[in-house]
Structure 1
Amino acid sequence: MSVDRVEATEDGETGRAAVGQSAVAGESVAATASVHTYPIAPGVRLNVRRGPGTNYQIVRVLPEGSRVPIYCQTPGTTVSGPYGTSNIWDNIDDGEYVSDAYVYTGSDGYVASRCG
């Protein structure tokens, strides 16, 4: 696979991961806590947004093969992805969300507490 390949992300936009970007979102937080991480869909570079919806600003793009912690989950924009259609958004770091339709949690429902 070419390094220059660009993949579609959760809302059809494209993006590239920054060089040297961590493979795990919120790595510093996850390293100090016992938080389970989940893989994003294979072959996907996933948009991380400032809030739980496609209308929020993209703050970064996770590279293929990333795993993410899920600190809490909240409803937001409904998105269709490799793992179905869902309105659940996963909080992976302070003010950073990804669509649960792109994260393999093994469940179609909530696997973490609701964000409050």
Structure 2
Amino acid sequence: MAIEETVETTETAAPAGVAEAVETAGTVTYPTAPGYQVNVRSGPSTNHRLIKVLPYNTRVPIRCQRHGQKVSGPYGTTDVWDCIAPGQYVSDAYVQTGSDGFVTVPCG
């Protein structure tokens, strides 16, 4: 006699145009703006050294956030910069966090 297991799930779709943060192996990542290659800087301004350019459709972890130079991008104008790795910052104007403010701890 076979035993069948039924699993019910309830999924709530995000509103159109809103991407959700994804948790992979304990790390939450956020999508960069579609159609953009995002510059990664050594600090929170465009005057800081360019470290690398992220490819299209990248997801980034946000370790901490800090205020810096005001930048305009697809997600508005903001002075919030996201630290994606030690010494690596991207403007929050190019990361879809779903918030105009901080989504994690301030950088120390």
TM over 0.5: yes
User: What is the TM-score with the length of structure 2 in the denominator?
Assistant: 0.77
5+ residue gaps, structure 1, are 1-29
User: Equivalents in 1 of 2:74, 2:68: separation in Å?
Assistant: 18
Report deviation, 1:42.
Answer: 0.3
Which protein has the bigger helix share?
Answer: 1
Percent of pairs identical after alignment?
Answer: 58
What's the CA shift string for 1:13-59, capped at 9, x where partnerless?
A: xxxxxxxxxxxxxxxxx97x622000000000000000011110000
Answer yes or no: is 1:110 the counterpart of 2:73: no
Q: How does 1:50-61 map to 2 (within 5 A)?
A: 50-61=42-53
Query: What is the aligned partner in structure 2 of residue 49 from structure 1?
Result: 41
- 2:80 counterpart of 1:88: yes
1:14-53 matches, within 5 Å, as 34-53=26-45
Which whole-Å CA distance do the structure 1 matches of 2:42 and 2:36 have between them? 19
Q: TM-score, normalised by structure 1?
A: 0.71
Q: Which one has a bigger Cα radius of gyration?
A: 2
Alignment of 1:73 onto 2:65:
yes
AA of the residue aligned to 2:39: N
Determine the C-alpha separation between the residues in 1 that align with 2:51 and 2:36.
16
Gapped regions of structure 2 (runs ≥ 5): 1-22
**Matched letter for residue 68 of structure 1:** V
Match for 2:59: what amino acid? R
